[in-house]
Amino acid sequence: MLNIGRNRNQGRPNRSMSLGMGSMDYADPKKKTNFVGKIILAATLTALCIIMLKQSPNFSTPSRFSIHEQGVTHVLVTGGAGYIGSHAALRLLKDSYRVTVVDNLSRGNLAAVKILQELFPEPGRLQFIYADLGDAKSVNKIFSENAFDAVMHFAAVAYVGESTLEPLRYYHNITSNTLGVLEAMAAHGVKTLIYSSTCATYGEPDKMPITEDTPQVPINPYGKAKKMAEDIILDFSKNSDMAIMILRYFNVIGSDPNGRLGEAPRPELREHGRISGACFDAARGIMPGLKVKGTDYSTPDGTCIRDYIDVTDLVDAHVKALEKARPKKVGIYNVGTGKGRSVKEFVEACKKATGVDIKVDYLPRRPGDYAEVYSDPTKIKLELNWTAKYTDLRQSLAIAWRWQKSHRNGYGTSRVAA
Ligand SMILES: NC(=O)c1ccc[n+]([C@@H]2O[C@H](COP(=O)([O-])OP(=O)(O)OC[C@H]3O[C@@H](n4cnc5c(N)ncnc54)[C@H](O)[C@@H]3O)[C@@H](O)[C@H]2O)c1
């Protein structure tokens, strides 16, 4: 717009100079015409600017995301382009929450956010902000420009194996960024935090099942970084009105039953990957087979036992936690099924779900793996009225497999498999 104005103004002086050189008599009326023309031009440009500004959503009305609206809860979902965060955003949107996703896309998928935007295109439902939570200035700007009622803090790097190789990255990304988010929440009066923690904070407890009172003795940087983040939140809570819910997830599997979202980690993270991803990769032939590490644990079939929680149940726990969060109160909950399944059981379920006779190699133990981990979900049932519903491994894996089959390149290029 300014460029157009400048070009026209530059053109006129040149033209009037060449026409007006002959005589004063001739030049005078021309100057008058030029003067009137300039006024008309200026008025036209001003009118144009006003129309354009008025059409911009930020001019006449402030963005809906920047004002608290009665009856609308605005949730900041950090890491909302990732696996669990995108499923949580979908559930929140379905339940009429207003959602802002903040993600640096280091591990998440913009395509997942686009799917959500297509499902909920109405103004004031969903916005995406590309930002790194390690950048305090950006975080502060986001909080000052938006009126959040609550934060679900999912954003994190989240691979145990990777954390042993790059511990500083984990402490920075998890512990230090959580501190930054908490500081921004406190500075801008955001009243509710739902924090994504993990059973890795318990380490290798002697007694099963794990309750919320089981001592937290994490044994890898991932678990330690999350435990430190929890400690920061808990110390802060002692002198704050904030409503806080800390959810310690067990092993998350599955995907949206309607097939809109799935789990699509970066290919380079495959080596650190989770068991469901490894099974699917083997079933698709991306990997030659599955390597099960350790068959001599003191468990019924000798393989490790874990508690697999379906992502649909997990996000339900978040919504229940959000609904039940109260000022000055801290709730800490295990989110698991309460049932341990062995790796062998998991692989069998995956074979059935995919219909592929996955080749399995049984190898010696991997250092750092513990034999048995499963939750006691009594507290969350009693206090939040939450129980896992998707407890059929095969069914959860079949749902996830449907998405995997139709998204051979993750969110990259989606197509339906023949
Ligand atoms: N997946 C599991 O089995 C599991 C188990 C226990 C706990 N958790 C926790 O759940 C949360 C979500 O995990 P996920 O499996 O969805 O992982 P994910 O990698 O799929 O998603 C994490 C998202 O956070 C984003 N992110 C990372 N660092 C960021 C930063 N500095 N700024 C902005 N965005 C950033 C990534 O781009 C990604 O979109 C994590 O906090 C994780 O520790 C996951």
222 lines ligand 1 (CB under 6 A): no
108 lines ligand 1 (CB under 6 A): yes
- What was the pLDDT predicted at 36? 65
Q: Which atom of ligand 1 is nearest to the CA of 199?
A: 6
Residue matched to tokens 């499923």: 87
227 lines ligand 1 (CB under 6 A): no
Q: Which residue in 279, 270, 250 sits closest to 352, CA to CA? A: 279
**Structural domain boundaries in the chain:** 2-55, 64-257+308-338+373-389
Give residue 411's Cα distance to chain centre.
15
133 lines ligand 1 (CB under 6 A): yes
Beta bridge partners, 101, equal 77, 128
Walking along the chain (418 residues) 10 residues at a time, the average pLDDT comes out as: 30 29 36 63 58 48 92 98 98 98 97 98 98 98 98 97 95 98 98 98 95 96 98 98 98 98 89 87 92 94 97 98 98 98 97 97 85 96 98 98 94 54
Q: Which residues of 321-352 are buried (b: 16+ CB within 10 A; e: fewer)?
A: bbeebeeeebbbbbbbbbbbbbbbbbbbbbbe
CATH code: domain 64-257+308-338+373-389 is: 3.40.50.720
AA identity, residue 320? K
Cα–Cα distances (Å) from 386 to 314, 315, 317, 323, in that order, read: 10, 11, 6, 12
314 lines ligand 1 (CB under 6 A): no
Residue of 104, 172, 224, 308 best suited for mutating to test ligand 1, as the one with most atoms within 8 Å of CB: 104
- What was the pLDDT predicted at 2? 26
22 CA from centroid of ligand 1 (Å): 76
Cα–Cα distances (Å) from 300 to 208, 226, 297, 371, in that order, read: 15, 31, 8, 11
Active site residues: 222
φ, ψ for residue 72 (rounded to 5)? -120, 125
- What was the pLDDT predicted at 8? 32
Q: Which atom of ligand 1 is nearest to the CA of 80?
A: 39
Q: Which atom of ligand 1 is nearest to the CA of 107?
A: 37
- What was the pLDDT predicted at 207? 95
Residue 1: exposure state from Cβ atoms within 10 A (0-12, 13-18, ≥19): exposed
Q: Which H/E stretch holds residue 291?
A: strand 290-293
Q: What is the pLDDT of residues 228-238, one digit of tens each?
A: 999 999 999 99
DSSP 201: G
Residue closest via CA to ligand 1's atom 1 equals: 252
Range 205-209, long-range pairs (CB < 8 A, 24+ positions): 208/340, 208/372, 208/373, 208/374, 209/338, 209/340, 209/374, 209/375, 209/376
Distance CA 311, CA 205 (A): 25
317 lines ligand 1 (CB under 6 A): no
Q: Which residue in 352, 385, 383, 261 sits closest to 312, CA to CA? A: 261
This prediction's pTM: 0.86
Whether 254 contacts 311, CB under 8 Å: yes
